Structure 1
Amino acid sequence: MPSVVSVARRSSHEFSKTVVDSISIVEGLGVDGDAHAGVTVKHRSRVARDPSQPNLRQVHLIHSELFDELTAKGFFVKPGDLGENNPDLRRRAS
């Protein structure tokens, strides 16, 4: 059964996000209260190029196994460090 390991958001443009107990995802906008939420792009380099581009990166998902893989290679990365929400995308409902 797929599950969510953590959720995170940050109101300012930073690399990492703060892990929180819950988030609200607003259709067509993204995570309520997150710097990247919105109809048009929020990433600084894309805004500089064309601020009217549609925002296709409203929610960032990473499979939770990535953290185990990185730890095995000597990297310690916690949920939120990569600016993601961490659902277990590899598990399938039976």
Structure 2
Amino acid sequence: MTARVTAVSSDPTYSFGKPNRARVTLLAGLGVEDDVHAGQTIKHQFRMTYEPQSPNLRQVHLMHEELFDELAAKGYAVAPGELGENVTTRGIDLLGLPTGALLHLGEEAIVEVTGLRNPCSKINTFRPGLLGEMFAIDAATGDFTFKSGIMGVVRQGGRVRPGDAVGVDLPAGPHRPLERV
């Protein structure tokens, strides 16, 4: 199965979800054109209050559509864009990628993976109890992983549409696992 983009979403204003679009344009060094989180410095509402000049490592939010299948099996109806992601994918283990992996989206765009998205407490307002499903706990080690997608920065701009292929270039090893950004 070839990894694909299944949906693209953006919103120029702060809101929980983002409406789906026919296409989005990624801008090198900035993020998704006309999206509230685009910019060279951090645009996360809470973090802007205490670290406004920090580099924006969260220009693009990507989420695996397989998570929606998992959630549906547990009784939660979630559609692409509803958790605030910009790019929804299928057929690629986003959470298993190392820091620095390059994602080729469509014909031109390249996004460098910077880390895991930490789930927002507003998820429970969207669907009560859903926040608890955004974590996976390793029974052997007690470690937990965020399941609410990954973040990245745009290294090369381009248009991205549903149906576009997703390719991966891994960085030279040893690989660093994703951490929250």
Shorter-chain TM-score range: over 0.9
Q: Give the corresponding residue for 1:3.
A: 4
Q: Give the corresponding residue for 2:74.
A: 73
Q: Give the corresponding residue for 1:46.
A: 47
In 1, the alpha carbon distance for the partners of 2:46 and 2:83 equals 18
In 1, the alpha carbon distance for the partners of 2:54 and 2:28 equals 17
Structure 1 residue identity aligned to 2:83 = L
Structure 2 residue identity aligned to 1:40 = T
Q: TM-score, structure 1 length as denominator?
A: 0.93
Q: Give the corresponding residue for 2:27.
A: 26
Cα RMSD, aligned residues only? 1.7
Q: Which structure carries more strand by proportion?
A: 2
Structure 2 residue identity aligned to 1:4 = V
SS at match of 2:68: helix
Q: Give the corresponding residue for 2:58.
A: 57
Identity across aligned pairs (percent)? Answer: 45
Q: TM-score, structure 2 length as denominator?
A: 0.49
In 2, the alpha carbon distance for the partners of 1:65 and 1:44 equals 28
Structure 1 residue identity aligned to 2:88 = N
Q: Give the corresponding residue for 1:15.
A: 16
* Deviation beyond 2 Å, 4+ runs, structure 1: none
Tell me how many residue pairs correspond in the alignment.
Answer: 93
Q: Deviations over 1:66-91 (max 9, x none)?
A: 0100000000001100111101223x
Structure 1 residue identity aligned to 2:33 = D
Q: Give the corresponding residue for 2:148.
A: none
SS at match of 2:6: coil
For structure 1, list consecutive stretches of 5 or more residues without a partner in the other structure.
none
For structure 2, list consecutive stretches of 5 or more residues without a partner in the other structure.
94-165, 168-181
Structure 2 residue identity aligned to 1:8 = S
Q: Give the corresponding residue for 1:86.
A: 88
1:27 Cα deviation after fit: 1.1
In 2, the alpha carbon distance for the partners of 1:11 and 1:73 equals 32
